[in-house]
């Protein structure tokens, strides 16, 4: 009887260990996916920052070009006799 009880306990311990290992595997999978999600977010942030910086630079260049054009057009409007 004692031996049967001992074997039952061993089986239960074995089952518990196996369940624990499954849980740990599940948790590791979840944490791995969360880390991959975090890496994706970091990469997405860097890419978006570089794209926004490029857009900002382009906008600055366009703004300067527009200022130059505005000055040229204003000078042309003030001296219309040049084009007549």
Partner 1 sequence: MQQLGPERPAMTFDEVSLERSKSFVQALQELKNLRPQLYSAADYCEKAYLHSEQKQMVLDHLKEYAVRALVNAVDHLGTVTYKLTEISEQQSSDISTVELKISCLSQQILTCQTFADKEGLRQQQLSSRTTPRHKKHYILPSPIHKRLENISNLPKDNRSSHVQSMPLPQSYGVLTPKTLSWHLASDNSPAPSKESWTSLLVEDSRDRNVTMNSLPPSEHGVPMSLSSHLQAAKGNGTSVKWKQDEMEAKKSLSEFKSFDKSVRGEISQPPPRSKNIISALFPRNKNFKPKRVPVS
Minimum Å gap between C-beta 18 and partner 1 is 13
Say how far apart CA 60 and CA 2 lie, in whole Å. 85
Minimum Å gap between C-beta 23 and partner 1 is 7
Three-state secondary structure call for residue 44:
helix
* Interface residue list for partner 1 (CB under 8 A): 23, 26, 30, 33-34, 37, 40-41, 44, 48, 51-52, 54-55, 58-59, 62, 65-66, 68-69, 72-73, 76, 82-83
The 3-state DSSP composition of the chain as helix, strand, coil percent (nearest 5) reads 95, 0, 5
Minimum Å gap between C-beta 21 and partner 1 is 14
CA Rg, the chain, in Å?
36
Q: With respect to partner 1, which residue has the nearer C-beta, 1 or 77?
A: 77
Say how far apart CA 24 and CA 18 lie, in whole Å. 10
Q: With respect to partner 1, which residue has the nearer C-beta, 6 or 72?
A: 72
């Amino acid at each position: 009887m004692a031996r049967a009880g001992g074997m039952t306990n061993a089986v239960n311990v074995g089952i518990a260990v196996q369940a624990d290992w499954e849980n740990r595997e599940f948790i590791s999978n979840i944490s791995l996916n969360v880390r991959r999600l975090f890496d994706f977010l970091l990469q997405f942030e860097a890419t978006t920052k570089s794209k926004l910086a490029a857009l900002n630079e382009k906008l600055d260049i366009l703004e300067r070009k527009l200022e130059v054009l505005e000055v040229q057009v204003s000078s042309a409007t003030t001296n219309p006799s040049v084009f007549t």
